[in-house]
Amino acid sequence: MTRILIKKQLREVAYFYIRDRKTGKRQSKGKTTGFIFLWLLVFGSLGAAAFGLCDLFGSVFFDIGLDWFFFALMGLVAICVGIFGSVFSTYATLYKAKDNEALLSLPIDTKKILIARLTTTYLLGCIFSALFYIPTLIYYYTHVTQTVASVVCSLLQFVVFNIASMALVCIIGYFVALLSSRFAGKSYITVIVTMGFLVLYYWGYFKLMGSIETIAGNGVIFAQKLEGKAYLFRKFGESFIGDIPAFLIWTLIVVALFAVVFFVLSSNYLKLMTTNRGAKKAEYVAEKSIKSRGINKALLMKEWKRFTKSAVYLMNSGIGALLVPVLAIAMIIKADAIREMMDKYVTLMTAMFPGLDVKGYIPLLCVAMMLFVGSMIVITAPAVSLEGQSIWILKSLPIDPIKILDQKRRFHLLVGIPAVVIMGLAFGYVLKMEMGDIALSILVGIAYTLLNANAGLALNLLMPNLTWKDETVPVKQSTPVLIVIFGSFAIIVGLGALYIKVLKDVLTNPMDYAIYVFVFFVVCAGFIQKWINTKGVERWNDL
């Protein structure tokens, strides 16, 4: 029975890549090719990062006999990669699987169910850690003379440290499940947790880069300090390079850790599978008076509620507005460091291109930043599709379609314009720009936000998807969203290239070019608006 359950779990993992979950049909060749390309890209990226770290550490540690320190560092990174790749799927497969009730209705021991799901968790961790560990082994085997013991231990250690990774994933996954169930249906909690994770990730990334340079430059000192004080850390590193006693000690520690985790989970797994902490409880709601609103305000509030109650919509379409305050505060706090860095780049660029007024391009850089902020807000592109199959309710109301479409665009502007203004003021303060240049940069950003809102709405009217079953489809995978996102980057790059290659000698003042860009955006937005008010309304009526 355990073998059958493991086979079922593995099929569920592979099902996503073979068949469409919505229709049950086999994935198209295009999607299959896309999945293969995506995995090759992930493998290439992690492999390149692994080889880079190996070369950085190996060139320092191999020559002075600190092979164990090299593997201790690379092994820890491989464990972290395995944990990161499997921890979020653990919540769905181990704690909140959709087939819990079906399995519990059968005469199957819950321990066998747990073993099958732990096996899936273990294999997922192996896949992700292998993307980093295989390049590490290749580098080690090609740069250090090997013995039978070192080869066997380094290969078996892959099995062992992934068991440790699985145990840690089970612990972390439980807290993820607990947090998710406690705040079920509350999108703002999801957003706060996600934003906190992003901030923590980038903070950890920059700290890690600094630590790697420090360790690479002072490897001997670090190894000597850890040699006597961090016994387990040293044994962990030595277990990779053929030290049999160290390998056995580390293996016993890992087995003991997993035994404790398995005992705790198996003793409480039935309760974990059946407890629904996130379920809403029935409660009495007293009658209260209903506030009336005008049509425009009611439509705008409708857009607001959909935006704030959907974590997927909020995080993917409004990520720019969420990140801007954080970025602005960070820029103001680090203003001196940013100015110092900009001065270095200005000096470097001036030396590379004599006679070029590099400082004169700083305001144009601010304009580019405003366009970038505007491109990160993609609210109207999925706004029509998100009405879904209930769009008939909105269309059946005695409301002019122009008002409905106007409020969708207006909500985009209410979210996007403050983000542009905040970033423009922060950028201008940090770089000590003149007020006129700051104002012009903000105006260009506002004009582009208007163009982005109109273009997204027009594209969604032309290519709506009202038959989706999961809102991630119109928000993340629809053609209008992709066109707006990639089109925005193409516009930013195209306008920059146009000035540098063609108009630089004609418009010697970069901000003169910004004026023409502003007019161009306003004119384009006006033409699209005219189409929405005529042909766009017809498209809405035909939906």
Q: pLDDT > 90: what percent of the chain?
A: 9
Q: Across all residues in the chain, what is the average pLDDT?
A: 77
For residue 278, the model assigns a pLDDT of 46
pLDDT at 221 over 70: no
Q: Is pLDDT larger for residue 165 or for residue 96?
A: 165
Would you say residue 327 has pLDDT above 60?
yes
The pLDDT assigned to 183 comes to 55
Weakest mean pLDDT among 48-62, 505-519, 527-541: 48-62
- At 359, is the secondary structure helix, strand, or coil? helix
- The answer, yes or no, to whether residue 304 has pLDDT greater than 80, is yes
Are 121 and 90 in contact, with CB atoms under 8 Å apart? yes
Integer Cα distance of 471 and 22 in angstroms: 12
Question: Is residue 440 within 8 Å of residue 510, measured between CB atoms?
Answer: no
- Decide if 85 contacts 91 (C-beta within 8 A): no
Residue 523 — pLDDT band, cuts 50, 70, 90? very high
pLDDT at 211: 54
pLDDT one-digit tens code per residue, 455-493? 999 999 988 888 877 677 788 778 888 888 888 888 888
In this structure, the number of other CB atoms found within 10 A of the CB of residue 361 comes to 18
Residue 277 or residue 343, greater confidence: 343
Q: How many CA atoms lie within 13 A of 43 on its CB side?
A: 10
Between 204-208, 263-267, 299-303, the lowest mean confidence (pLDDT) is in 204-208
Question: Quick one: angle between helices 219-229 and 67-90, nearest 10?
Answer: 80
Domain range annotation of the chain? 2-274, 296-542
**pLDDT 10s digits, 384-430:** 888 888 888 888 888 888 999 999 999 999 998 998 899 889 888 88
- DSSP three-state, residue 155: helix
**Stretch among 100-104, 193-197, 327-331 having the lowest mean pLDDT:** 193-197
449-459, pLDDT tens digit by residue?
Answer: 999 999 999 99
